Structure 1
């Protein structure tokens, strides 16, 4: 299930993108998208750290996209806000960890299915950008 953090992050990015390269105040985003401003600050900070949005301080400050919406993949947004795309750490491409309760990935009954699910999810997310959502 998609977390509220990721859902709100995507909604904020779509809102910013629709404003056509203006600097948008966090208050405006929060009001228009019905998101707690405090929670939104945390979300936008995560997106800023990974180079998806930039910010300007001051009275006329706010947030803006650092890239064209067509260059912001849903994979990047999901990994920034949600973490691993894979449902199990043993099939994750970027956050791999061996499952402690599994003696062998080769003989694991669910490993292959989880790899297929990861690949299908990545295929969809890699083919979608922020532009597709606006």
Structure 2
């Protein structure tokens, strides 16, 4: 399940995708238009900037904007930045692997099922980009 933080991030990114060709967008505009608490949004956008998804410009005409064309950033990349692993179990995570405490992966029926769930989820999330967030677009 996506956290509230991730849902806010995608709402903000949707606004930035819609305004991509218009230049930087004030954080207060994003917060107001997308009904996101300003302080929470500041932390989210800062994290996305540090991860290289967004850039910011200070001063007059400043604000946040998507660094690369929205078609170059996958939905999966954003989820990993904001929420961490996409996999439902740490033992099937591609980027955040951890051995389960009391489990033998070779003999665990759940492990194999969760690998399939991860692969099916990633097949969608890795192939959808920020461009798919554009207002009015059907995501699936």
Q: TM-score range by the shorter chain?
A: over 0.9
Aligned residue number for residue 123 of structure 1: 123
Q: TM-score, normalised by structure 2?
A: 0.92
Aligned residue number for residue 94 of structure 2: 93
Aligned to 1:121, the other structure's residue is in SS state: helix
Number of matched pairs: 133
Within a 5 Å distance, the mapping from 1:17-36 to structure 2 comes to 17-21=17-21, 22-36=23-37
Hey, what's the Cα distance between the residues in 1 that align with 2:9 and 2:110? 31
Aligned residue number for residue 48 of structure 2: 47
Hey, what's the Cα distance between the residues in 2 that align with 1:113 and 1:49? 34
Hey, what's the Cα distance between the residues in 1 that align with 2:5 and 2:80? 12
Aligned residue number for residue 137 of structure 2: none
Q: Deviations over 1:49-81 (max 9, x none)?
A: 110000112243210010101111101111111
Q: CA deviation at 1:133?
A: 1.6
Which is further off, 35-44 or 17-26?
17-26
Structure 1: any 5+ residue segments left out of the alignment? none
Hey, what's the Cα distance between the residues in 2 that align with 1:132 and 1:19? 14
Q: CA deviation at 1:88?
A: 0.5
Within a 5 Å distance, the mapping from 1:59-78 to structure 2 comes to 59-78=60-79
Q: TM-score, normalised by structure 1?
A: 0.96
**Backbone CA RMSD of aligned residues:** 0.9
